[in-house]
Amino acid sequence: MQAIEISPFTKDVLKGKVAAVTGGSSGIGLEIAKQLGLHGAHVAICGRRQKPIDDAVAEFASLGIRAFGAQCDVRKPEHATSFINGAVREFGRLDILVNSAAGNFLCPAEDLSVNGFKTVMEIDAVGVFNMSKAAFEALRGHGTIVNISATLHYGATWFQVHASSAKAAIDSITRTLGMEWGPEGIRTVGVAPGPVAGTAGMTKLAPGMSDAVNELVPLKRMATKWEIAMSVLFLVSNGAGYITGETLVVDGGSWLNTSLTPPIPKELIRQASRDIEKKSRNTGLARSKL
């Protein structure tokens, strides 16, 4: 059964709100930003590359969404502060922060460089902390932070020790900030998607394996980006106003189905990893919005 993309929320549910979305120029982050905008919010997005940012802002404008975009490396605290300050200058306030920027690639643990492990940890976990800290004062007393995580670390995941470690750290940040910042009037929640159709993550992490992935999901299909965005929309709405510190799993039951054997032979992973390393020498670390 395919998802029916009819929003259960009123179009003005976020009227007057301002949302900042990291990684908001592509993939899941782009869909989240778009749906927040279509439901009444002004939207600020950031990413590493200017053209996708410009394209996203233009798309939002065509949909009647007021949007602001800026380049930002979430690993750098000064970039995080600059982006948040820019959003507040543009819109006068900030109500929602969605941390969606992420990095990942497949690699056997014994072949993974320390730098590769560190880079993914910095993009995912350190990036979430940097952006949350930068947004603290703007969100204080009324705001919500949504951290996009994953289910990789609920058991164990082949060839992704870097990403599964980073996502475990994100979930811990969500719980800790939910406790520490709850008294400050900030809710901190998370969404943990499973496999999501039409994303760079599926292209890089399970190339040509869509049918096989569908069979592993109890609901027999991958999520759509829209479904992940709807989950975020729920968590930032008044209907979730008493939820903090929790991560909502949106994976069709996938994490319940663990595999004892690698889904892809290790040599194929090694070859793909070598190809990515070659490309990254010219273009930087391969990224995906999970």
Residue 13 lies in a domain: no
- The pLDDT, as a whole number, for residue 3 is 72
Residue 288 lies in a domain: no
Helical spans, DSSP H, in 63-145: 77-91, 114-121, 127-139
Residue 10 lies in a domain: no
Residue 12 lies in a domain: no
Backbone angles phi, psi at 270, to 5 degrees: -60, -45
**pLDDT tens sequence across 232-263:** 999 999 999 999 999 999 999 989 876 656 66
Residue 110 lies in a domain: yes
- The pLDDT, as a whole number, for residue 276 is 67
Query: In CATH, what number is assigned to the domain containing residue 217?
Result: 3.40.50.720
- Give residue for tokens 């404008």: 61
Give the chain's radius of gyration (CA, Å).
18
Structure tokens at 266: 């290790």
- Give residue for tokens 């000064």: 78
Residue 4 lies in a domain: no
Q: What's the domain range around 62?
A: 18-253+261-283
Task: Please report how the helices 27-38 and 225-236 are oriented relative to each other, as an axis angle in degrees rounded to 10.
Answer: 50
- The pLDDT, as a whole number, for residue 215 is 84
**pLDDT tens sequence across 26-52:** 999 999 999 999 999 999 999 999 999
Q: Are strands 247-250 and 187-193 parallel, antiparallel or unpaired?
A: parallel
Residue 105 lies in a domain: yes
Q: Are strands 247-250 and 18-22 parallel, antiparallel or unpaired?
A: unpaired
Q: How many domains in the chain?
A: 1
Tell me the whole-structure pTM to 2 decimals. Answer: 0.89
Residue 1 lies in a domain: no
Low-confidence ranges of the chain (pLDDT < 50): 285-290
Residue 151, number of CB atoms within 10 A of its CB: 21
- The pLDDT, as a whole number, for residue 33 is 98
Structure tokens at 158: 């082949």
Residue 120, number of CB atoms within 10 A of its CB: 26
Distance CA 3, CA 275 (A): 35
